[in-house]
Amino acid sequence: MTKTITVFRGDGIGPEITDAVLDILKAANAPLDFEIFDVGAAVYEKTGSFIPQEGFDSFEKNKVLLKSPITTPIGSGFKSLNVTLRQKYDLWANIRPALSNPALPTRFENVDLVTFRENTEDLYIGEEIEIDADTVHAIKKITRKASERIIKEAFEYALKNGRHKVTCIHKANILKKSDGMFLRIFEEIAKSYPQIEADSMIVDAACMNLVMHPERFDVLVMPNLYGDILSDLTSGLIGGLGLLPSCNRGDSYAMYEAVHGSAPDIAGQNLANPSALLLSACMMLDDLHEEESASKIRNALDQVFQEGKVLTKDLGGQASTSEFVAEIKSRL
Ligand code: NAI
Ligand code: MG
C-alpha cells in the first residue's frame, strides 16, 4: 500500500540531497507519495517562520518525516529547529547505525555498531541562566522516565537484532547524580536481559577505545550530548558524515535524517554525498515494512561503492552528486 510521507527539503546542501534521494526512491518504485516542504533560512526570510504551518500539519497527519539538514544560526537567540522538532514531537530515541563498507577506504574494518542517543533532555533543554555578566549556568536535565525508555529501547533492539552487548556511556564519576542515575537505571534494566552482555564506559575512555578498537563495540546507549558527539565520531570510523543515517523516533512520530548538517561550505555546488540521507530513507522503508525497496536501494548503493569509479569527493572520488545519483539509479 502506498504510504504518504512528509519531506522537509532543508537548506544548505539539503535541497540537493533531498532531490537526489526522492529521485532514487521513485526510480526504485518505493511505494511512497511525498508532501514536500521548503524549510530553513530562506523560508524564514520570506515568511517569518522556519517551517511553514502546512509542514507541521502534514507531519502530524502522516506521522513520518524525511528531513534534510537545517542550518542553526549560532548565538542569534534561535533555538535549533532540529532540537525543537525532537522535543515538540517527543522523538525520544535517536538511533544511528554505523556500519563499515568493505569497499570504501577507511582506517578501520568491521565497524558495526549502533548508537542509541537520548533525544529530549540533557543540556539540550537549552536552559542557560545568566547568573551575572560573566557567569552562565547551563542545566543538564536527566529524568528516570527518559533514561528508562532509551535504555530499554537499546536492549530490545539488541535482543531483536541478534546483538550481543549493550554499553552504557556516561560521566558518572563526575556527574554523580545525573549520569549516576542514568548508569544505575542501566544496571537495573540490564538485569532483565541476561542474554545480552552489559557493560559501561566513561565517555572520555569511550572516545579512545572507539578509535583504537571500534570492532569491540556493539550497541551503545547514552545521554543526549555524548550521543551527539560520539555519533559524529562513529561516522568518522566508517568513512565520514556523508554515510551515517539516523532515525528519531517516539511513540507516535518518526523522523529520518542524515546525521550531518547543512554543509554550507559545499552547498549549491553539486558536490554533496546524498548517501546518509538515502540510507536514512532505507531505515524509514524498513520501519514501514517495505524492506524489499530498502534492500534494493542498499544493494544498488553497495554496487556503486564496490565499483569505486563514481564516488563523491568526500569518499575520495571526483563525481558530482548528479553523476553519483545516476550511477545508483542505473543499478536499481
Ligand atoms: P556539517 O555536518 O554541515 O559539515 C561538516 C563537514 O562535513 C563539512 O566540511 C561538510 O562539507 C562535510 N559534509 C557534511 N555532510 C556532507 C555530505 N553529505 N557530503 C559531503 N560532505 C559533507 O556540520 P557544520 O558545518 O558544523 O554545520 C553546518 C550547519 O548545519 C550548522 O548550522 C549546524 O547547526 C547545522 N546542523 C544541522 C543538523 C541537522 O539538521 N540535523 C545536524 C548538524 C548540524
Ligand atoms: Mg550532531
**Measured from the CB, is residue 9 less than 6 Å from ligand 1?**
no
CATH number at residue 15: 3.40.718.10
Cell numbers describing residue 187: 544496571
Percent of the chain with pLDDT over 70: 98
Residues 246 and 233 in one domain: no
Cα(112)–Cα(83) distance, rounded to whole angstroms? 27
Residues 75 and 125 in one domain: no
Residue 8 DSSP SS3: strand
Atom of ligand 1 nearest to the CA of 17: 18
Residues 149 and 47 in one domain: no
Cell numbers describing residue 17: 540531497
**Measured from the CB, is residue 134 less than 6 Å from ligand 1?**
no
Q: Choose one of 238, 254, 280: the last residue of a domain.
A: 238
Atom of ligand 1 nearest to the CA of 263: 3
**Measured from the CB, is residue 321 less than 6 Å from ligand 1?**
no
Ligand 1, pocket-test mutation among 257, 262, 278, most atoms within 8 A of CB? 262
**Measured from the CB, is residue 260 less than 6 Å from ligand 1?**
yes
Q: What is the pLDDT of residues 9-43, one digit of tens each?
A: 999 999 999 999 999 999 999 999 999 999 988 88
What is the ipTM metric for this complex? Answer: 0.98
Q: Considering the domain boundaries, does residue 265 fall inside one? A: yes
pLDDT for 87 equals 87
Domain with 154, as residue range(s), is 107-238
Q: What is the pLDDT of residues 164-216, one digit of tens each?
A: 999 999 999 999 999 999 999 999 999 999 999 999 999 999 999 999 999 99
Q: Considering the domain boundaries, does residue 101 fall inside one? A: no
Question: How many Å lie between the centroid of ligand 2 and the Cα of residue 228?
Answer: 5
Q: Considering the domain boundaries, does residue 102 fall inside one? A: no
Per residue of the chain (332 residues), give pLDDT as tens.
Answer: 899 999 999 999 999 999 999 999 999 999 999 999 999 888 888 888 889 999 999 999 999 999 999 988 766 566 778 888 998 999 999 999 999 998 887 889 889 999 999 999 999 999 999 999 999 999 999 999 999 999 999 999 999 999 999 999 999 999 999 999 999 999 999 999 999 999 999 999 999 999 999 999 999 999 999 999 999 999 999 999 999 999 999 999 999 999 999 999 999 999 999 999 999 999 999 999 999 999 999 999 999 999 999 999 999 999 999 999 999 999 99
Q: Domain total for the chain? A: 2
Q: Choose one of 195, 215, 238: the last residue of a domain.
A: 238
In angstroms, the Cα distances linking 175 to 122, 181, 202, 268 are 12, 9, 11, 43
Residues 159 and 219 in one domain: yes
Ligand 1, pocket-test mutation among 85, 86, 241, most atoms within 8 A of CB? 241
Cα(76)–Cα(129) distance, rounded to whole angstroms? 16
Helix (H) or strand (E) run with residue 56 in it: helix 53-62
Main-chain phi, psi angles of 297, to 5 degrees: -70, -45
